[in-house]
Structure 1
Amino acid sequence: MAASAILIILITIFFPPVGVWAVAGCGADLFINICLTLLGYIPGHIHAFYLEYIYYDRREQAREGRFAARRAPGVYSDRVQSGGHGYGTIVQPTA
C-alpha cells in the first residue's frame, strides 16, 4: 500500500486530476478537481490530497475492521467513501 500511495502522491504533485482519477475514477470528483485546477493550481492540489487522504484512511479503517459511520463531506465518489472496497457496499460484520 505504501508504494502505491507514494506513487499517487508524486503524480498528484505534478498533475492533480490524474491522482484524483486514480483513486476516484471518472466522475463528479474528477470534474470538480479539473475545474479547481484550472482556477488555480493550489485549489486542485488541496482537493486532490483531501480525496486521497479520505481514500487511504477509509481503506485502512476497513482493513482494521472499522467502518466509517458517515460519509466524508465533499466527496461524491463511492469508491473513495468506501476506501476502494465495493463502491459503498461494504457489509458490516456480524459479531
Structure 2
Amino acid sequence: MGAVSAVLIILITILFPPAGAYAVAGCGADLLINICLTLLGYIPGHIHAFYLEYVYYDRKEQAREGRFAAQRAPGVYSDRVQTGGHGYAPQGYGTIAQPTQ
C-alpha cells in the first residue's frame, strides 16, 4: 500500500504541486511556500513538493526500520514531514522521542 500511495502522490504532484505538498505536509508553512513557488514558476513548485515528499518517505522508512533522524531536514517546516508521518512530536530541535509500548 505504501508504494501505491507514493506513486499516486507523485502523479498528483506532477499535475499540481501544491496538492502534493498538502498531501504530505498538511496545511501550514510548507504549503504556503509551495503555493508561492508555484506562482513564481511551475518548476520551483515541483522541486519543493518533490523534496517534501522525498524527506517524508525517507523519514517514514527510517522510522519503520527503527532508526530516527538526528537532525531536521533543512527547508522543511512541517513536523509531519520531519517525523515521516508518525504521531509523536519532537522533544527538542532535532530529536524525536521514541514511542513507548
TM-score of the aligned structures, taking structure 1 as reference length: 0.94
Whole-angstrom distance in 2 between the partners of 1:93 and 1:21: 26
Q: Which residue of 2 aligns with 1:50?
A: 51
Q: Could you say what the CA RMSD is over the residues aligned between the two structures, in angstroms?
A: 1.5
Structure 2, unpaired ranges of 5+: 91-95
Indicate how the Cα distance of structure 1 residues 28 and 16 shifts in structure 2: closer, same or farther if over 3 A, else same.
Answer: same
Q: Give how far 1:87 is off.
A: 5.0
Q: Which residue of 2 aligns with 1:84?
A: 85
Identity among equivalent pairs (%): 84
TM-score of the aligned structures, taking structure 2 as reference length: 0.88
Q: Give how far 1:86 is off.
A: 1.3
After the TM superposition, list the runs of 4 or more consecutive aligned residues in structure 1 that deviate by more than 3 angstroms: none
Whole-angstrom distance in 2 between the partners of 1:45 and 1:63: 27
How many residues align? The count is 94
Cα deviations by residue, 1:20-48 (Å, 9 ceiling, x for unpaired): 00000000000000000000000000000
Whole-angstrom distance in 1 between the partners of 2:47 and 2:78: 17
Whole-angstrom distance in 1 between the partners of 2:79 and 2:88: 5
Higher strand share: 2
